[in-house]
Amino acid sequence: MFITGNFFLFIGSSILLILAPGPDIIFTITQGITNGKRAGVWTAVGLGLGNIVHTLAAAFGITVLLKTSQTAFLIFKILGACYLFYLAFKAIKHRHDIFGMEKSGNSNSGALHLFAKGFIMNVLNPKVALFFLAFLPQFVNNAAGSVPLQIVLYGIIFIVLVIIIFGLFGYFAGSVGQKLLKNEKFSSRMSVMSALVFIGLGLKLAFAQSR
């Protein structure tokens, strides 16, 4: 189904795009520093698996709605921005709490919460949806079978790469961050920094244009 040249071009392009500084990788690193290694990894998994929605939307044409309808795009970006502002509010509200899933007695709950954060943040970002619509079809071979199936397979590969690369960033950020967060003042400042990151990402999304 895959042409060898297309496949390796896709892998190389995907890795470069994933490594490029952007909101998702900043979010992953921030969560790793403030909440620990596992938090960074679970955030990466949430962000990666959120792309399943965008992959299926691109494969079956749903994302075209966001590209052609300003109303749909506006609704999605407002929801996404509001969610990020909510995360900023939570970070400020709990800035004096003890950080760290590593120290938490209910790590499974914490993992699920951080996974959900990453997943929702990704799904509610219409720019990611439009990226998948523009990027994945470029590597499709029309003569090699089902186009939607090819897009889904490429999307799965991209998701796996996101989880691996973001997961490594989150893990190593957590290794450094947890040592620093033993200092209570530093912990509080990092919480404020996290809130500023959320606000910045929210504003960036709020003023995003569909084209």
* Residue 13, in any domain of the structure: no
The whole-number pLDDT of residue 106 equals 45
120 phi and psi angles, rounded to 5 deg: -65, -40
Domain that holds residue 194: 25-206
Tokens of 147: 């186009």
* Residue 6, in any domain of the structure: no
Contact 38, 115 (CB under 8 A): no
The whole-number pLDDT of residue 120 equals 92
Mean pLDDT of the residues in the chain: 80
- pTM across the whole model: 0.74
Report the 10 Å Cβ neighbour count for 111.
20
Number of domains within the chain: 1
* Residue 11, in any domain of the structure: no
The whole-number pLDDT of residue 97 equals 56
Residue 135: name the closest of 207, 32, 51 by CA.
51
Q: Classify residue 52 by burial, with Cβ atoms within 10 Å: 0-12, 13-18, 19+.
A: middle
Give the tens place of pLDDT for each residue, 62-117: 777 767 778 877 887 888 888 888 878 877 776 655 444 454 444 555 788 889 98
The whole-number pLDDT of residue 53 equals 93
How far is the CA of 42 from the CAs of 109, 128, 157, in angstroms?
Answer: 11, 19, 18
Contact 24, 168 (CB under 8 A): no
* Residue 7, in any domain of the structure: no
* Residue 8, in any domain of the structure: no
Give the tens place of pLDDT for each residue, 111-157: 888 899 899 989 988 878 888 888 888 888 777 778 888 889 999 99
* Residue 68, in any domain of the structure: yes
* Residue 20, in any domain of the structure: no
Confidence bin at 178 (pLDDT 50/70/90): low
* Residue 4, in any domain of the structure: no
Percent of the chain whose predicted confidence (pLDDT) is above 70: 81
Contact 18, 93 (CB under 8 A): no
